[in-house]
Structures are given as C-alpha cells and as structure tokens.
C-alpha cells in the first residue's frame, strides 16, 4: 500500500510525461505481481465501487478528529477534496501497516460493502490508525469511489512494455478488457499481461481467458504524408468511419464476444446479436443491421406522400427560418430537454449496476423497458399535442423535472427504479411531437 501511495503522490505532483513514465516504470519493476495487477487496473481506468457512504465517512472522520461540524465543513470548503480533508484532520497514526495493495483491496476494502454502520465505523478508525497521510488519502479515495489519477492509459501501457520487454502494441491488445469489473485483477492475470511473446511468432498463443480479446480500438487521424508511403494496400485492413458507438464482435474458438469502444464486454446486453454471430458468423450481424436500415429507408419511400407541392427554394433560404425568434426558442427548449435526458442517460448503466444493484444482464432488460417508454411517449405526445399544444408541452417539461427528482430517490430500490425509468422514457419522448409541430407551424 505504501509503495502505491508513493506512486500516486508522484503522479499527482507532476505534469511531466517523462517523470510520470519513470515513476510508473520504477513501481512496476519492483512491485509484487498481485500488487501490480491491482495498480495497473486502477491506473488504466478501473474504478472501485463506493464501499462506505459519504455521510458516514465524513461523520467518522469528524468525530475522530474532534472537530465541530461547522469547522470540518469550512476545512472541506477550503481544501476542496473530501479525501484530502480527512487525511489532513485525522491525528497521527499509532502503528504502521506492512500489507501490500492487493491485501488492502481484497481483504479490507472490498469486504466493507454490506457491513453494518457500527462495523464500518470500527474498521475505518482501525485502518486510518495504520496509515500515514498519503496512504490515508489514497485509502479514502478508494473506499469513497472517487479514485482518479492524472495518467493516460497509453502511458501505463508504455511503462508495462518497458518493464516486460514486450512490444507496447502487444501490451495494448492484452489490456483490452483489463478494467472489466467482472474479472478481478490477480497475479496470474498480470503475469499473462507482461509475459514475453512466443519466439518466432507474431501472435501469442492466447490463454483461455484471453481468447475473446478484441483488437485495440484506435481513433482516426488525418494522414499527413503521401498515401503511397503506407505501402501495399494488401497490408492494410480498412474500416469505414461510421457514426455512432463503435463495437467489435469477436468470434473465436466457437464462442462470441461483443466489445464496446469503451472496452466494456457487452455481450449479455445484446443477446440477439451474439446469437446471430454464433449461428452465422460475425459478418451476419452487420449484414442484418444493414438490411434493417435499408428496410427503414424503403418503408419511408413507400409510406411518405408522393404528390406534395414543393416550391422552389435553396439551401441558403432554408436558414432564413433561424431569424424567427419563436423557432429559436423552440430549438433552445429542444436542446435543453435533450441535455436533461442525456446528462442522466450517459451514466444510466453505472447507476443501475453500482447504485441500484442490477447485474449487467438485467440492465439490458431495464433499458428495454426505457425503450418501451420512449415508444409510448412518442405516440401519446402526438395525440396530446393535437389537443392542447402549448399546455401539453409545458406540462411535459415540468413532469420531466419531477421524474428526474424522483429518480434520485428511487434509484436505490430496483422495482421503484424500473417504474421510474419507464415513466422517464415516456416523458423523454412525449415532448418530441409538440416541439416538431411548433417548429413546422412557425
């Protein structure tokens, strides 16, 4: 624990990439495999779940420091970080811990979840009394779920490649899925991560648990040189730059995995695609998605009226509508409403898994329920907009504020969360028809 706390402080104290790389190399070169496994998990972006409620954490620290509530709050406001405030106000430790990072995480931090408040209080006081300032700061970050570190994942890859003597591209591929919370870091996994490549082989013989790893996801960058400098076209695999969230469907050894761009294993959330890939190969999944798009385009061509009188216009004249203040107002409402939706929906999966307690597989069906709410809302919004346009729109916007406020409380209870999410879906799309009608009318 002490060595990782020292590394964390060193990374936090500098903005120099070279200094951070040197600190990482020094740590991994001397760390035990089980400690290095957890360190690489956290440094690569793995986030520990909150083990102790923030309120209890604050109360125990304040009482141990012997500070009145107002003084602790003033200290917190001055420092700006709860973990750092707690580390500062606690009295000096009376003993020293020799446990490594892996022991602290597996035997102490992870076992805090589900403990009674009395037990949490006793264990927190005991743990803090074994640690110096930097270790307390790190521990509080870990148990509070607020661990962040200013180091890029690629820098961790470079450090591990340097220590292991393995090409960094190979380490990058092995680290895909490294922060999947369902795979606990271990010494065995870390040793496979840094194992030397097989001699005379371009590709390692994968371990059973690594068979489903995808190819590393890379961002697109403009080519600054002559395309001829890339060599033969046969040496390249070209990918079309599609819109949306990138994913990979991997089929190896008779099994199928689906990975998101964020390197999350999402196979269980798309069982129909996984089954299709299993039965007919990975290409069939993408062909089916393509056919759905073609079918949708065909349905629009058939169902839309063919004999609509159109006046001649130009693209530039279409922008004249933006001079209308009422159109700008409606567009502004649409932007704010969308922001309210996506600011919460962006974090809906971690909320459902970490706060509500749903399994990744169950989250799929909760999101399906949200989608049903969207469908109901779109239909209902059209009918109500025909009845009372402005009154309906204002009522819906107010209802969205109310339902999101309710969700802050119901997210802790699975059944209540599901009911709230369904009605949130209804309200999220019930405003779409009124907004579209207002724009068309003006």
Strand locations in 132-271 (E): 247-252, 255-260
Gap between the Cα atoms of 59 and 78, Å rounded: 18
Q: Would the pLDDT of 10 be above 80?
A: yes
- Per the DSSP assignment, residues forming a β-bridge with 247 are 260
3-class SS at 255? Answer: strand
Task: Count Cβ atoms within 10 A of the Cβ of residue 238 and give its class: 0-12 exposed, 13-18 middle, 19 or more buried.
Answer: exposed
Instruction: For residue 207, give Cα distances in angstroms to 66, 189, 274, 290.
Output: 53, 10, 22, 34
**More confident position, 278 or 303:** 303
So what's the pLDDT on residue 430?
83
Which of 83, 87, 93, 102 minimizes the C-alpha distance to 143? 83
Neighbours of 416 (CB within 10 A): 15
Q: Would the pLDDT of 92 be above 80?
A: yes
Lowest-confidence region among 63-72, 149-158, 430-439: 430-439
So what's the pLDDT on residue 422?
93
Q: Identify the band that residue 329 occupies on the pLDDT scale cut at 50, 70 and 90.
A: confident
Which of 151, 157, 177 minimizes the C-alpha distance to 169? 157
Q: Work out the average pLDDT over 117-139.
A: 92
Q: Work out the average pLDDT over 401-426.
A: 90
Which of 185, 163, 9 minimizes the C-alpha distance to 101? 185
Task: Count Cβ atoms within 10 A of the Cβ of residue 21 and give its class: 0-12 exposed, 13-18 middle, 19 or more buried.
Answer: middle
Gap between the Cα atoms of 113 and 125, Å rounded: 16
Q: Would the pLDDT of 205 be above 80?
A: no
Instruction: For residue 153, give Cα distances in angstroms to 118, 256, 402.
Output: 38, 26, 39
So what's the pLDDT on residue 242?
66
Q: Would the pLDDT of 21 be above 90?
A: yes
Rounded to the nearest 10 degrees, the angle between the axes of helix 82-89 and helix 54-65 is: 20
Share of the chain above pLDDT 70, in %: 87
Q: Would the pLDDT of 292 be above 60?
A: yes
Q: Identify the band that residue 128 occupies on the pLDDT scale cut at 50, 70 and 90.
A: very high
Gap between the Cα atoms of 56 and 120, Å rounded: 9
- Pair of tokens at residue 82: 């709860």
3-class SS at 390? Answer: helix
- Pair of tokens at residue 277: 């890939």
DSSP letters of 275-341? HHHHHH-HHHHHHHHHHHHHHHHHHHHHHS-S--------HHHHGGGGG-HHHHHHHHHHHHHHHHH
Gap between the Cα atoms of 355 and 353, Å rounded: 6
Question: Which are the contacts of 10, defined by CB distance < 8 A and separation ≥ 6?
Answer: 19, 20, 23
Q: Work out the average pLDDT over 309-320.
A: 69
Helices (H), 175-281: 187-193, 271-280
171 in Cβ contact with 163 (< 8 Å) = no
Q: Would the pLDDT of 251 be above 50?
A: yes
Q: Identify the band that residue 204 occupies on the pLDDT scale cut at 50, 70 and 90.
A: very low
Q: Would the pLDDT of 335 be above 90?
A: no
So what's the pLDDT on residue 311?
67
Which of 134, 95, 115 minimizes the C-alpha distance to 1? 134
Show the domains of the chain with their CATH numbers.
2-144 (1.10.3260.10), 243-303 (no CATH), 319-441 (no CATH)
So what's the pLDDT on residue 199?
46
- Pair of tokens at residue 358: 């749903």
**More confident position, 303 or 243:** 303
Q: Identify the band that residue 183 occupies on the pLDDT scale cut at 50, 70 and 90.
A: confident
The label of the residue with tokens 């005379």 reads 200
What is the CA angle 177-182-185, rounded to 5? 70
Q: Work out the average pLDDT over 100-106.
A: 92
Q: Would the pLDDT of 225 be above 60?
A: yes
Mean of per-residue pLDDT scores for the chain: 82
Q: Would the pLDDT of 202 be above 50?
A: no
pLDDT tens by residue, 368-385: 889 898 888 888 887 777
- Pair of tokens at residue 424: 């949130």
Share of the chain above pLDDT 90, in %: 26
Task: Tell me the backbone φ, ψ of residue 219, rounded to 5 degrees.
Answer: -80, 155
Which of 180, 175, 141, 189 minimizes the C-alpha distance to 353? 180
So what's the pLDDT on residue 281?
66
pTM above 0.75, yes or no: no
Lowest-confidence region among 43-52, 109-118, 133-142: 43-52
Task: Tell me the backbone φ, ψ of residue 249, rounded to 5 degrees.
Answer: -105, 115
- Pair of tokens at residue 324: 């209308």
Lowest-confidence region among 119-123, 154-158, 304-308: 304-308
- Pair of tokens at residue 348: 């809906």
């Amino acid at each position: 624990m002490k060595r990782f706390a020292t590394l964390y402080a060193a990374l936090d104290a500098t903005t120099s990439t070279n200094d951070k790389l040197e600190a990482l190399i020094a740590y991994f070169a001397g760390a035990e495999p089980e400690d290095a496994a957890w360190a690489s998990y956290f440094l690569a972006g793995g986030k520990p779940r909150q083990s102790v409620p923030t309120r209890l954490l604050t109360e125990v620290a304040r009482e141990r420091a012997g500070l009145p509530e107002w003084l602790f709050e003033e200290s917190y406001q001055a420092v700006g970080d709860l973990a750092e405030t707690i580390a500062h106000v606690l009295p000096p430790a009376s003993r020293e811990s020799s446990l490594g990072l892996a022991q602290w995480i597996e035997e102490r931090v992870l076992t805090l979840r589900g403990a009674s408040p009395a037990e949490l209080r006793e264990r927190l006081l005991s743990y803090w009394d074994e640690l110096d300032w930097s270790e307390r700061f790190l521990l509080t970050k870990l148990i509070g779920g607020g661990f962040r570190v200013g180091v890029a994942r690629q820098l961790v890859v470079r450090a591990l490649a340097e220590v292991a003597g393995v090409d960094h591209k190979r380490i990058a591929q092995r680290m895909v899925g490294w922060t999947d919370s369902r795979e606990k870091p271990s010494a065995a996994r870390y040793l496979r991560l840094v194992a030397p490549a097989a001699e005379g082989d371009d590709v390692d013989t994968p371990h059973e648990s690594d068979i489903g790893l995808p190819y590393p996801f890379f961002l697109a960058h403009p080519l600054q040189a002559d395309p001829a400098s890339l060599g033969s076209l046969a040496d390249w695999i070209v990918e079309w730059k599609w819109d949306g969230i990138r994913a990979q469907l991997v089929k190896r050894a008779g099994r199928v995995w689906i990975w998101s761009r964020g390197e999350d294993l999402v196979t269980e959330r798309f069982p129909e695609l996984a089954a299709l890939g299993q039965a007919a190969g990975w290409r069939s999944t993408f062909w089916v998605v393509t056919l759905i798009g073609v079918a949708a385009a065909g349905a629009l061509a058939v169902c839309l009226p063919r004999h609509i009188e159109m006046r001649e216009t130009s693209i530039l004249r279409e922008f004249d509508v933006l001079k209308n203040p009422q159109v700008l107002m409606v567009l502004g409402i649409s932007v704010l409403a969308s922001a309210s939706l996506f600011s919460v929906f962006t974090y809906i999966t971690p909320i459902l898994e970490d706060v509500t307690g749903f399994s990744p597989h169950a989250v799929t069906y909760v999101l399906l329920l949200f989608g049903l709410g969207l469908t109901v809302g779109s239909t209902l919004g059209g009918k109500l907009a025909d009845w009372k346009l402005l009154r309906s729109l204002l009522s819906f916007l107010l209802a969205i504020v109310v339902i999101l406020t309710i969700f802050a409380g119901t997210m802790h209870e699975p059944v209540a969360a599901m009911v709230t999410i369904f009605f949130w879906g209804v309200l999220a799309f019930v405003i779409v028809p009124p907004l579209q009608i207002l724009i068309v009318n003006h």
